[in-house]
Amino acid sequence: MDLVLALLQGIGIAAAVGVRPMLPVLLAGALASRDIGLDFDGTDFAFLESWPFLLAAVLAAAALVFAERTGIDERRPLVYALAVACVVLGVLEASGSLADEGHSIIPGVVLGAGAAVLGFVAARDLFTRVRRRRRESAAAARRARRDPRRRRRCRGRARPGMMRT
C-alpha cells in the first residue's frame, strides 16, 4: 500500500509540474524541508529540499512569469525547453516520492515523465486557446470603440463601465 500511495503522490506532483512547472516544485521542496508529507533526506533526492535548489526554482518561476506576461513563452524553442524542464522536474519529484518510502525509482521515472507530459500538453492547449480568445475579444473591443456609430449612440448616456453623476 505504501508503494501505491507514494506512486500516486509522485504522479500527482509530476502532473502538477506539467501544468505549472515551478510552483509544485517549490511546494514539495518547502514541505519536504519541514518533513511534512515528504522527506527527501537520506535519499539521492535530498537536493530537492535544499535552499539553493529552491532559490533556483523561485528565480525560474519569476522568469516564467515574466515570459508569460511579455509573450516570449509562445516561441517554439522556449516551449520545447519548458517541456523538457517539466519532464525532468516531474521525473525527479515522482522518483523522490518513491525513494522517500524506500522503493525503486523506476516506476517514478516512467510514470512521472508521462504525467508531466500529459499535464504540459493539456495545460499548454488550454492556455493557448484562452490567450487567443482574449486577443480576439480585445480586438473586438478596440473596433467597437473606434466605430463612430457606437460613439453617437453612447453620447448623452452613461457609457458602459462608467457611473453617471
pLDDT tens string 117-165? 999 999 888 888 888 888 888 888 888 777 766 555 555 555 555 555 5
CB 99 within 8 A of CB 105: yes
Confirm whether 39 is domain-assigned. Answer: yes
Confirm whether 155 is domain-assigned. Answer: no
C-alpha cell at 111: 510514470
Confirm whether 50 is domain-assigned. Answer: yes
Average pLDDT of the segment spanning 58-77:
82
Confirm whether 124 is domain-assigned. Answer: yes
Confirm whether 60 is domain-assigned. Answer: yes
Return the pLDDT at 110: 95
Return the pLDDT at 75: 77
Return the pLDDT at 66: 87
Return the pLDDT at 4: 92
Confirm whether 90 is domain-assigned. Answer: yes
- CA atoms of 74 and 86, how far apart (whole Å): 16
Please state the domain count of the chain.
1
CB 144 within 8 A of CB 126: no
Query: How far apart, in Å, are the Cα atoms of 8 and each of 1, 24, 75, 118?
Result: 11, 15, 33, 15
- Whether this model's pTM surpasses 0.85: no
Q: With 0-12 CB in 10 A as exposed, 13-18 as middle and 19+ as buried, what is 77?
A: exposed
pLDDT tens digits along 10-31? 999 999 999 988 899 999 999 9
Q: Which domain holds residue 115?
A: 2-150
Confirm whether 15 is domain-assigned. Answer: yes
Confirm whether 158 is domain-assigned. Answer: no
Neighbours of 71 (CB within 10 A): 9
